Amino acid sequence: MIFVTGGAGYIGSHTVVELLNAGHEVTVFDNFCNSQPEVLRRVARITGKQANLVQGDLRDSAALLAALRASGAKAVIHFAGLKAVGESVQNPLAYYDNNVVGTVRLLETMNECGIKTLVFSSSATVYGDPQRLPLSEDHPLSTTNPYGQTKLVIEEMLRDLYRSDPAWRIGILRYFNPVGAHVSGLIGEDPLGTPNNLLPFVAQVAVGRREFLNVWGDDYATADGTGVRDYIHVVDLALGHLKALERLAHHAECRAINLGTGVGYSVLDMLRAFEQASGKRVPYQVGPRRSGDIAACYADPSQALALLGWRAERDLASMCADAWRWQSGNPNGYAQAT
Ligand code: NAD
Ligand code: UFG
């Protein structure tokens, strides 16, 4: 049994599918602050299996303790958190409270239950503005906004916890840019309001919900001047979590591992690939740089291959085709679900 915080969210729901498909039992703990219960009905349709659901907030220690105890879990995958960079600048305390305090409560509760295996969702944002590319795990860590700071604080807290008690088994997964959707088109990314991230915005332009894409700057030192990122298919990312759990079954450690493809694509590469996958034109306008953005960011994924036996398998065409299947089949996300 695996206990999955934030299991109704974008990456969590895709991971729950892969866990159920692999024969694990799953308990999802989620407060639905950025997701909807409908996603778990879709997960059940895809897998033919049902995850247990507990609606609750990480910071509610009593609810968390009851749920974790009742689950009989042997390990926790911790996705729950707030993730909007701009919002974190506006309201940093909400981010420290939800992400950092929420994680402290989770770790205390796990300790109380004697569960010491954890996979944590970190981010390439902890590398700050890259000093060298590709980014390997030993690159210096720094952050440029409160969201990133919460990830770094949690990483440091996990390293301290492991130093204090080496019975812990902790996998810190540093995600690059997750995109795409399950191949069924039944689950995918469903951002509230105007998407901050590139692919959901492009998909909403293609489906006619928005007029054009704003390209945030074309004067970076990259091949076409637009920002370059390491986009990774969300199903590949999900499978990385299963590999991390397998490793932790045999290793008591606290280790950070990149999950990326090692390949960078520009904004215009992504736009063209999406046009190809969707058969739709995606009009765009070049605007000024977005504050806080970096020119390029991509992973050295060799540790994931060496230590987890994992590598990303799905290419850019399938990222876009799967994102389009989800977006065109669910133009308003889960909201219009019956
Ligand atoms: P998401 O918002 O879709 O999922 C997060 C889930 O956690 C949601 O279902 C939300 O309702 C739940 N949640 C949030 N706070 C909670 C709380 N206090 N108690 C209980 N549930 C709570 O986000 P996602 O894209 O699936 O991201 C999952 C994790 O991966 C996050 O920690 C995020 O910071 C990290 N991450 C995401 C990206 C990305 O680009 N999507 C990149 C790097 C890291
Ligand atoms: N972009 C646009 N127009 C848009 C949205 C994005 O041109 O409307 C560009 C950005 O300037 C950037 C690229 O597309 O060059 C990717 O932007 P995203 O917002 O999709 O992704 P980021 O790399 O900026 O940030 C993401 C997550 C962060 C995480 C970071 C590193 O949103 O939470 O990856 O993992 F910290």
Q: Is the CB of 204 under 6 A from ligand 2?
A: no
Nearest ligand 1 atom, CA 80: 7
- Neighbour tally for 90: CB within 10 Å: 10
Q: Return left, alpha or beta for 292; rule: phi > 0 is left, psi -120 to 50 is alpha, else beta.
A: left
- Residue nearest atom 14 in ligand 2 by C-alpha distance: 198
CA of 193 to the centre of ligand 1 (A): 16
Residue with tokens 């799967």: 322
CA–CA separation, 100 and 154 (whole Å)? 6
Q: Is the CB of 10 under 6 A from ligand 2?
A: no
- Dig out the tokens for 316 from the structure: 């850019």
- Dig out the tokens for 193 from the structure: 């309001």
Tell me the pLDDT of the chain (338 aa) as tens digits.
999 999 999 999 999 999 999 999 999 999 999 999 999 999 999 999 999 999 999 999 999 999 999 999 999 999 999 999 999 999 999 999 999 999 999 999 999 999 999 999 999 999 999 999 999 999 999 999 999 999 999 999 999 999 999 999 999 999 999 999 999 999 999 998 899 999 999 999 999 999 999 999 999 999 999 999 999 999 999 999 999 999 999 999 999 999 999 999 999 999 999 999 999 999 999 999 998 899 999 999 999 999 999 999 999 999 999 999 999 999 989 986 44
- Residue nearest atom 27 in ligand 2 by C-alpha distance: 177
289: which DSSP letter? P
40: which DSSP letter? H
Per the CB < 8 A criterion, the answer to whether 294 and 215 are in contact is no
Per the CB < 8 A criterion, the answer to whether 96 and 146 are in contact is yes
| Residue 284 annotated among the catalytic residues of the structure | no
Nearest ligand 1 atom, CA 78: 32
CA–CA separation, 28 and 19 (whole Å)? 12
Among 147, 162, 175, 220, the one annotated catalytic: 147
* Tens-place pLDDT, residues 313-325: 999 999 999 999 9
Rounded to 5 degrees, φ, ψ at 328 are: -75, -30
Domains, the chain: 2-180+231-260 (3.40.50.720)
Q: Is the CB of 198 under 6 A from ligand 2?
A: yes
Residue with tokens 């009742």: 70
CA–CA separation, 16 and 25 (whole Å)? 9
- Residue nearest atom 7 in ligand 2 by C-alpha distance: 215
